[in-house]
Amino acid sequence: MRLAQVSNRLANLAEEYEVPERLNDASQKLGQVSEKVYDRMTAAREVARRGAAQAYRVALENPRTSAAAGVILAAALVGGVLWYVFGDWRKPAPRKRSGARVRAGAERRKRARHARAAA
């Protein structure tokens, strides 16, 4: 195929599969979705602002309680950060052996037995 034929073939395929119309539809849908996301983020921001203002007012009215709550919140934040940094949720916790206790020197005897079997 020549280059001119390739471009003609691509133009025909684009018309056949209605590529420009589908692209327009997709861009319109994306615009609608982004508007909804923006509206919901605006609403969430407003609710968070109101909640923070109310919490601030309550803290001003009750200083002893707010100090205790601040200590608890700080401890929770530090614990969460430590868990995030050092905790590895992908690895399961090491399993404990569920057997009888082994006598001293048993490992040495096992190695000697394996060495004799291998020879």
Q: What is the pLDDT of residues 53-85, one digit of tens each?
A: 998 888 888 888 888 888 898 999 999 999 888
Is 103 inside a domain boundary?
Answer: no
Each residue's pLDDT tens digit, 1-50: 577 777 888 777 777 777 778 788 888 999 999 999 999 999 999 999 99
Residue type present at position 43: A
Strand, helix or coil at 44? helix
Domain total of the chain:
1
Is 112 inside a domain boundary?
Answer: no
Is 15 inside a domain boundary?
Answer: yes
**Pick from 81, 58, 83, 82: nearest CA to 70:** 58
Check residue 33 and give its pLDDT: 92
Angle formed by the axes of helices 3-16 and 19-61, to 10°? 60
Is 32 inside a domain boundary?
Answer: yes
The residue range of the domain holding 58 is 1-84
